[in-house]
A and B are shown apart, each in its own frame.
Chain A
Amino acid sequence: MDKIRQEGKTVEEAVQAALEILQISREEAKIEVIEEGNNGFLGLIGAKSALVEVEAKKTSREIGKEFIEDLFSTVELEVNVDILEEQTDSEQITYDLHSPDLGIVIGHRGETLDALQYLTSLVVNKQANQYIRIILDAEGYRERRKQTLERLANKMARKCLDKGRKVVLEPMPPHERRIIHMTIKKNPRVKSYSEGEEPFRKVKIEEVD
């Protein structure tokens, strides 16, 4: 598909022209020289142009997107994947998932989305030269969940102070516990810590004496 043959006076010129057409950099291309080409005699007689074949390599972004879409197409679930450019750079790719079955894709407390995020990270980083952090979002789910957790943390901190005893939260994955800890840190009257083994690790909130 993204593979073209290009002629040029020299190999270098042909390659440059092909990269220009495909809109990719040299690192993103697989280049094969088919004809070396030569200038002929005084550039007049027997001159032969160079011919190269240039193919766009799959980028990490594409590998992740294709993996997620292909995965759901095997079970006939329609899931479309966009890249959130504002949260994507050379170290991180953020995908936004859309689907009529978004509830299934997210799962209870986001556990399906987290599992999918982990698997996508394995697939992308299997090919990548340097580690790329993969984040999966689904129509703003992460931000909504963050706000919910912040509210929960504040409510539990109040409960802890009102009742004057320790409050134990339900088990949560690491990044959700982190949001709780960050919120609790803003309140000097309470402190939080985690206890137990994954995936049942829980946050506990205590009054500071």
Chain B
Amino acid sequence: MQEMVEKIARSIVDNPEQVQVKKIEKDKSITLELSVADNDMGKVIGKQGRIARAIRTVVNAAATKEDKKVVVDIK
């Protein structure tokens, strides 16, 4: 799941080398913290959060096979 977020983010930003995803695993959920270069923030969030929403939708779909809820945070 972590790799998937990395793959999406690296493909849409201008500074792929600065993409980082931190995984925080709890009992019933996984939080993926995505961080990108300052000037790439807009590229992963989008107007009215449209890009962030699309990333979450795709990641959650991929997570349906696992039992855990996956949260994607952008910081």
Interface residues of B in 42-67 (CB under 8 A from A): 48, 50-51, 53-55, 57-58, 61-62, 64-65
In the complex formed, the residue of B with least CB distance to A107 is B61
Contact of A74 among B7, B55, B61 (CB under 8 A): B7
Taking a contact as CB atoms closer than 8 A, the residue among A71, A115, A126 that contacts B53 in the complex is: A115
The interface size of chain A toward B, counting residues with CB under 8 Å, comes to: 23
Chain B nearest CB from A117 CB (Å) reads 9
A161 within 8 A of B: no
Contacts of B64 in A (CB 8 A): 104
Q: Chain B residues near A198: list those with CB within 8 A.
A: 48
**A21 interface residue, CB < 8 Å from B?**
no
Chain A residues positioned under 8 Å from B6 (CB to CB): 74
Is A128 on the interface with B (CB-CB < 8 A)? no
A 47-87 to B, binary, CB cutoff 8 A, 1 in contact else 0: 00000000000000000000100111011010000000000
B1 within 8 A of A: yes
Task: Report the minimal beta-carbon distance from A103 to chain B, rounded to whole angstroms.
Answer: 9
**Shortest Cβ distance from residue B36 to the other chain A in the assembled complex, whole angstroms:** 14
Chain A residues closer than 8 Å to B74, beta-carbon distance: none
Interface residues of B in 1-16 (CB under 8 A from A): 1, 3-4, 6-8, 11-12
Query: Nearest Cβ distance between residue A196 and chain B, in whole angstroms?
Result: 14
Instruction: From A71, A105, A115, A199, give the contact of B4 (CB < 8 A).
Output: A71
Min CB–CB distance A76 → chain B (angstroms): 9
Q: Considering only CB atoms, which chain A residue lies closest to B4 in the complex? A: A74
B residues in contact (CB < 8 Å) with A? 1, 3-4, 6-8, 11-12, 48, 50-51, 53-55, 57-58, 61-62, 64-65
Q: 9 closest A-B pairs (Cβ-Cβ)?
A: A115-B57, A115-B54, A74-B3, A112-B61, A75-B62, A74-B4, A123-B11, A118-B54, A122-B12
Interface residues of A (CB under 8 A from B): 67, 70-72, 74-75, 77, 101, 104-105, 107, 111-112, 114-116, 118-119, 122-123, 126, 198-199
